[in-house]
Every structure is written in C-alpha cells, then in structure tokens.
Amino acid sequence: MPITVKIPAQLRPATGGEGEIEIESAATVGDALDAVFAQHDGLRERITEDGDLRRFVNVYVSGEDIRFQDGLETAVADGAEVTILPAVAGG
C-alpha cells in the first residue's frame, strides 16, 4: 500500500493544489519527504533547512509526533499516513 503525505492547506500552492501526495514506498519519514520534494521541489525549502526540519514544523506518522520517535529516521509502514502541520498552535 502506498504512503500518503498530507500537506497543510496554505502550502498547497506549492503542490499545484494537492492536499495529499502518494508515495509508492519509503523506509523512513526522511525518504517519504524526499519523494515528495522530488515531485514538488518548492516544498523542500519551506519544510526543511540544511537537511533538517525547520523548527516550527511538526511531522506525525499515523498521529504520533516523530520527535518522540526517531525524527526523520522514524520508520514508516506500508499504508501509513504522514502529516505535516505547523507547530505554532495552542497554549
């Protein structure tokens, strides 16, 4: 099963309007994001800086924050959902 990467609405101009991008397969979150960037290069510098996530970006794999797991090395299973969200909400 492919992996689905969900893009926040405000970034969709950089994906040609797509809110969900399907990736055939990826071992880690980093791989999945690289596959997304290969399709939509404009997203790379918005989401990452020097190869790491920008400090106000949150990424979740099936609802779990990857900062509690292995960061960009966090494994993604077949069929998993990777969600990118801004980290500046709440409080």
Partner 1 sequence: MSSTLQGLRCKECKREYPLEALYFCPDCFGPLEVAYDFSGLDAEEVRRRIQAGTTGIWRYADFLPFETRPASSLEPGLTPLVKADRLAEKLGVGEVWIKNDAANPTHSFKDRVVAVALAKAIELGFDTIACASTGNLANAVAAHAAAAGIDSYVFVPSDLEEQKLLATAVYGTTLVGVDGAYDDVNRLCTQLAEERGWAFVNVNLRPYYAEGSKTLAYETAEQLGWRLPDKIVAPIASGSLFTKIGRGFTEWLDLGLIEGELPAFHGAQAAGCSPVANAYAEGHDVCRPVRADTIAKSLAIGTPADGPYALDLARTTGGSIESVSDDEIRAGIRLLAETTGIFTETAGGVTTATLAKLAEAGELGTDDRVVVYITGEGLKTLDAVREGFEMHRIEPTLESFAETVAEPALA
| Rounded Cα distance, 1 and 18, in Å | 19
Does residue 50 belong to the site contacting partner 1 (CB under 8 A)? no
Q: Which phi and psi (to 5°) does residue 35 adopt?
A: -65, -35
Q: Does 67 bind partner 1 (CB under 8 A)?
A: yes
Residue 29: closest CA among 58, 56, 8: 58
Binding segment for partner 1 among 26-34, 65-73, 74-82 (CB under 8 A)?
Answer: 65-73
Residues that bind partner 1 (CB under 8 A): 8-11, 13-14, 46-47, 54-58, 60, 63, 65, 67-68, 83, 85-91
